[in-house]
Amino acid sequence: MSDFLTDYQLELQQLARRIAEEKVRPRAAECDRTGEFPWDLIKTFADVGFYGVYIDEKYGGSGGGVMELVIITEELSRACGGISLAVAATALGAFPIMLGGTDEQKDRWLPGIAAGKTLTGFGLTEPGAGSDASNMKTTAVLDGDYYILNGVKHFITNAGVAKLYTVIASTDPSKGIMGTSAFVVEEGMPGFSYGKEEDKMGIRASMTRELIFQDCKVPKGNLLGKPGRGFINAMQTLDRSRPGVAAQALGIAQGAFDLAVDYVRKRQQFGQSIAEFQGIQWMLADLATEIESARALLYKTARLIDSGATNISKFSAMSKLKCSDVAMRVTTDAVQLFGGYGYMRDYPIEKYMRDAKITQIYEGTNQIQRMVIGKNLLKEAQQKG
């Protein structure tokens, strides 16, 4: 089914699916076991233009949008949710530049990102400020031609492999979150280092580390937009990146479902394929319905964002919430369908369950998504009177 995709989007989907099957799937188990970052696949993704699909043509991209990013992320995640983050997390780090950068800043950084030469990361979360961004402790103090950053950013995807990081820091603590600003921090800047590599339950092919700033000197020219716009930039970024998490979750769900269908067709019990049992068919029917409904919501959200709509927070949160909850249900039931084999690492299905869990947590827990949705619903009702 085309899902009402354009010819270009269908071609992109087919390309991403082929690369996922031919290049990503053979590497998934090894990267999960070792925690190795798949540098060889980064080159593959760059060569076919995946890093530029959502970036304007004048900066070296192909001029697409969130929809194209969603398509690629979903297809790669069907083979490995961790490896897909090499593309999706770079988009997360690029969005603040696209949203808040000057023309000169976009000219400076976006072409390298679009070409896949420069991976990026996004520094918002801190050890004491996850969902509570108002508790941010990282500061940036203007000193002549530089801002001096001090603090720690925690659980940062692509940390240690990216060269650029968009970092939110407090420039005026008296104003709380409205006194935060966004900066581009480049690897090698004095006072910038990385923490330990995190040993994660899932998405182990993706690098997760701390960003540590100790009197880090960042040029004034690396400030994105005006001082005090950091939190707004971050929220606008998350509105556009949460569909990427949703796409990752959806791809994980679809990949697990495909493996489960294949397994139940081949598994023999009581003299017949277990796919012949009504209970199994009902489970598959429910899972397939959930996946398709999640995909419809996600694609609607991506199209809404690309249309230029400004009130996108509700649908962005809905798509992330729905797709990640579906991914957790589908992967849990898929392990059940595999029976005892599903619990063994000799079979790939348990990895999908481990990879799915993080999609309910990062870029705002699903409890936070429900708060975002609820507040928007009440705001809309108030506006209607």
- Alpha-carbon distance values, 96 to 33, 332, 366 (Å): 33, 35, 23
Given the residues 75, 104, 363, 380, select the one marked as catalytic: 363
Tell me whether domains 120-228 and 231-384 share a fold.
Answer: no
Q: In this structure, which amino acid lies at residue 237?
A: T
The superfamily CATH assigns to domain 231-384 is: Butyryl-CoA Dehydrogenase, subunit A, domain 3 (1.20.140.10)
Residue 198 annotated to the active site? no
Does this model's pTM top 0.95? My answer is yes
Please name the fold of domain 7-114.
Answer: Butyryl-Coa Dehydrogenase, subunit A; domain 1 (1.10.540)
- pLDDT of amino acid 132: 81
Residues of the chain with pLDDT under 70: 1-2
Domain made up of 120-228: CATH architecture: Beta Barrel (2.40)
Mean pLDDT of the chain: 96
What pLDDT digit, counting tens, does each position of 24-45 carry? 999 999 999 999 999 999 999 9
| Bridging pattern class, strands 146-157 and 139-143 | antiparallel
Q: What pLDDT is attached to residue 1?
A: 54
* Domains of the chain, residue spans: 7-114, 120-228, 231-384
